[in-house]
Amino acid sequence: MFAYQIVDHTGRNGLQKTELSDPVPGPAEVTIDVEVAGLGLIDALWASGTMPSNVGFVPGLEVAGKVRAIGDEVTGLAPGDEVAAILPSAGGLAQIAKTQADYVAKLPTGMDLELASVVPVNTVTAHLALTTVAQCTSGEAVLVHAGMGGLGTQFGQIARLLGASRVDAVVGNEDKRKMATELGYDNVYLRSDLASVPENAYDIVVDPVGGEAAKTAFRLLRSGGRHVRVGNASQQEDVPVSSVAHWLENKSTVGFNVGLWISVHPDQGAKSLAWSLHNVFNQSIRVDLTEVGPIEQVTEMLAALQSGRTVGKLAVRLS
């Protein structure tokens, strides 16, 4: 099979097409003939060397395609099934991907493979983070940083599905502020004017950005509030937090890494993925797939992701 591997860390030229042996599933694993692979910022960071990875590493955390083969212990899946999958160890930018059966879900009948390919990471992350560590409940107020990013849009919509009474966003520019209003956020603030975000107003602050977003989170939370760290898109240095402030103000900081979470709670992976696919397919959750290109354009698309020029999700076709 062909795959796009990290061959060095010199930027866009660090990702090159190579030939690899076809993977074989272990007892609890599935191999998938990849039709479409979703792209995320972390793939761009791996390709550029900003995020450490070994030479020979194949990026790609989410795919859609058809089951190629299953391990002896796998039930509920069969060769030929159309599926979407989470790949915690990556490997999606390849003709054939391999992952645990616990991270694979069948597509609803009639669901488009391109759309399905960009559901596994962001929608599942938002669903599991809000229902586990954040414990979002009806009537709460939620603020989402990078609210028009591929991940942020999912947090905003799922918070609303879970009963949040107020869902606000922070975005990077005026164009994104207009789009965020159209998506249904109640209030939208610019990242350049974080001082305008009301203090003591939110039960949950979702933070995939870090940097200034992390520094200001505590003043935005009301008593009992949770600052949920789900990324560091700003690529800024770590932000120290005060354990005394956590105690005195009745506030908490929680982190959520979807790959690690489902490795510890494997039963939740396929369940959340199936829930996410169902709700995207029936249009309860909108996923904006803004560009699908051939795999030969993957380096240019990853460069656009890293520069922050994109809105919504990107995917590449491998078939």
Q: Which pLDDT does position 33 carry in this prediction?
A: 98
Total domains in the fold of the chain: 2
Query: What's phi and psi for 73, nearest 5 deg?
Result: -95, 0
Domain boundary among 220, 255, 290: 255
- pLDDT > 60? residue 12: no
Judge whether 6 lies within some domain.
yes
Same domain, 245 and 264: no
Same domain, 116 and 265: yes
What is the rounded CA–CA span in Å between residue 317 and residue 298? 9
Same domain, 61 and 88: yes
Q: Which pLDDT does position 50 carry in this prediction?
A: 81
Same domain, 275 and 208: no
Query: Nearest to residue 53, comparing CAs of 8, 99, 1, 17?
Result: 8
- pLDDT > 70? residue 178: yes
Mean pLDDT of 110-123: 97
* Surface-to-core class of residue 243, CB atoms within 10 Å of its CB (0-12 exposed, 13-18 middle, 19+ buried): exposed
Distances in whole angstroms, Cα of residue 73 to Cα of each of 76, 102, 196, 270? 10, 11, 55, 16
- Quick: pLDDT tens for 50-61: 887 888 999 999
Same domain, 78 and 179: no
Q: Which residues pair with 170 in a beta bridge?
A: 145, 189
Judge whether 52 lies within some domain.
yes
- pLDDT > 70? residue 171: yes
Q: How confident is the model at residue 236 (pLDDT cuts 50, 70, 90)?
A: confident
Distance of CA 313 to the CA centre of its chain: 10
Q: What percent of the chain has pLDDT over 70?
A: 98
Judge whether 128 lies within some domain.
no
Residue type, 267: D
Same domain, 9 and 84: yes
Q: How confident is the model at residue 263 (pLDDT cuts 50, 70, 90)?
A: very high
Same domain, 45 and 151: no
Q: Which pLDDT does position 13 carry in this prediction?
A: 60
Query: What's phi and psi for 307, nearest 5 deg?
Result: -75, -15
Q: How confident is the model at residue 232 (pLDDT cuts 50, 70, 90)?
A: confident
Strands (E) located in 46-111: 62-70, 82-86, 96-100, 104-106
Q: How confident is the model at residue 253 (pLDDT cuts 50, 70, 90)?
A: very high
- Provide the b/e sequence for 142-173 (b: ≥16 CB within 10 Å): bbbbbbbbbbbbbbbbbbbebebebbbbbbbe
- Quick: pLDDT tens for 273-290: 999 999 999 999 999 999
Q: Which pLDDT does position 150 carry in this prediction?
A: 85
Query: Nearest to residue 143, comparing CAs of 201, 191, 230, 193?
Result: 201
- Quick: pLDDT tens for 140-156: 999 999 999 889 999 99
- pLDDT > 90? residue 308: no
- pLDDT higher at 94 or 49: 94
Judge whether 190 lies within some domain.
yes
Do residues 251 and 221 lie in contact, with contact meaning Cβ atoms separated by under 8 Å? yes
Domain boundary among 236, 255, 274: 255
Mean pLDDT of 202-229: 95
Domain boundary among 255, 271, 291: 255
Same domain, 88 and 141: no
Query: What's phi and psi for 275, nearest 5 deg?
Result: -60, -45
Mean pLDDT of 7-16: 71
Query: Nearest to residue 18, comparing CAs of 5, 9, 34, 36?
Result: 5
Q: Which pLDDT does position 10 carry in this prediction?
A: 61
Question: Which domain range does residue 57 map to?
Answer: 2-122+260-317
Query: Nearest to residue 217, comparing CAs of 3, 226, 41, 98?
Result: 226
Same domain, 159 and 10: no
Mean pLDDT of 184-198: 95
Residue 33: CATH number of its domain:
3.90.180.10
Q: Which pLDDT does position 11 carry in this prediction?
A: 52
Q: Which pLDDT does position 9 carry in this prediction?
A: 67
- pLDDT > 70? residue 255: yes
State both tokens at 198: 């009301």
Q: Which pLDDT does position 229 carry in this prediction?
A: 96
Judge whether 270 lies within some domain.
yes
